[in-house]
Amino acid sequence: MAEAKVPDVAGLSSIVQHFYYDLIGRIAPGMYLLLGGYWIIKIIKFKGEVPSLTAAPSFATMVVAVLFAYVVGFIIGPLSHFVFDSLLPFGGFKAKNTPRMVLRAIEQNGWEPPSTTLPKRKWNKRIRSLSDQSVYVLWQQAPLLASMTNRWDAEAFAARQFGMATIILIALMAWTLEGTVKGHEPMFIILAGIVSFCYLQFRYSRRRSILSRLVMLASLARGPQPDPQAMAAGRTATAA
């Protein structure tokens, strides 16, 4: 029996995608949490001066800071998943607001579409499950299309990571103030606003990620798509 081949999307593009995912989803939120926590503890807890932004850190310090930020972002990942994916309402899909193209894509791939009599929670769970299954089909049939959906996954991940980091900063600030909010209301309002915007961005990107996989799968079911590289080569030859 012939061995299944893994699609070769790769090369530099796949490395860049993974780095982009780590950069905006782990390193940036981790650095945000470290710097924010440092400022809160230094200025509020120990009444220190505002750190100077003019002194440039050494290269070794920057490397250590990036690595430490990555570890912090990696650690808060499961916590952010629990808070944003489990505790907070996703408000995803129900029978009335699911595009017909998505349902057609489910049927065209031989999957059983969810029953319209399902309650919203079960319908939402079924759509998300089918979207996860579609990733494997996309990677097998059209790796470039599959890689395009990574953008929405990365943005949803980054939004929930920044939101979780901000929640931790709020808790840290409340601890340093020993529960006394008076005089620091603007900072709490700003941090709460950041959490709210992160949640809205997470919902938007998560929904786009789930739908885009199924919509792209539907476009594949309509027939083979032209190779963009071949089209570009044809245009170049015609121009010459």
pLDDT for the residue 12:
47
Q: Is it the case that residue 164 has pLDDT exceeding 90? A: yes
pLDDT in tens, 221-235: 665 555 555 545 555
* SS3 per residue for 98-162: CCHHHHHHHHHCCCCCCCCCCCHHHHHHHHHHHHHHHHHHHHHHCHHHHHHHHHHHHHHHHHHHH
Q: What is the mean pLDDT of residues 124-132?
A: 80
Q: Please work out, in degrees rounded to the nearest 5, the angle formed at the alpha carbon of residue 39 by the alpha carbons of 37 and 45.
A: 90
Structure tokens at 89: 């309402």
Q: Is it the case that residue 4 has pLDDT exceeding 60? A: no
Q: Is it the case that residue 64 has pLDDT exceeding 50? A: yes
pLDDT for the residue 162:
96
Find where tokens 């080569």 sit.
Answer: 233
Structure tokens at 219: 């476009």
pLDDT in tens, 133-159: 887 777 777 777 777 777 888 899 999
pLDDT for the residue 147:
76
Report the C-alpha gap between 199 and 164 in whole angstroms.
10
Structure tokens at 15: 């490395």
Q: How many Cβ atoms are within 10 Å of 205's Cβ, its own excluded?
A: 20
Report the C-alpha gap between 182 and 95 in whole angstroms.
47
Structure tokens at 189: 């309002």
Q: What is the mean pLDDT of residues 7-19?
A: 54
Number of H helices, E strands in the chain: 8, 0
Report the C-alpha gap between 64 and 136 in whole angstroms.
37
Report the C-alpha gap between 230 and 239 in whole angstroms.
14
How does residue 97 score in pLDDT terms, banded at 50, 70 and 90? Answer: low
pTM, to two decimals: 0.75
With CA atoms as reference, report the closest residue to 29 among 60, 70, 78.
70
Q: How many Cβ atoms are within 10 Å of 63's Cβ, its own excluded?
A: 11
Q: Is it the case that residue 200 has pLDDT exceeding 60? A: yes
Residues of the chain above pLDDT 90, percent: 23
Give the DSSP letter string of 171-215: HHHHHHTTT--TT-HHHHHHHHHHHHHHHHHHHHHHHHHHHHHHH
Give the range among 66-70, 92-96, 208-212 with minimum mean pLDDT. Answer: 92-96
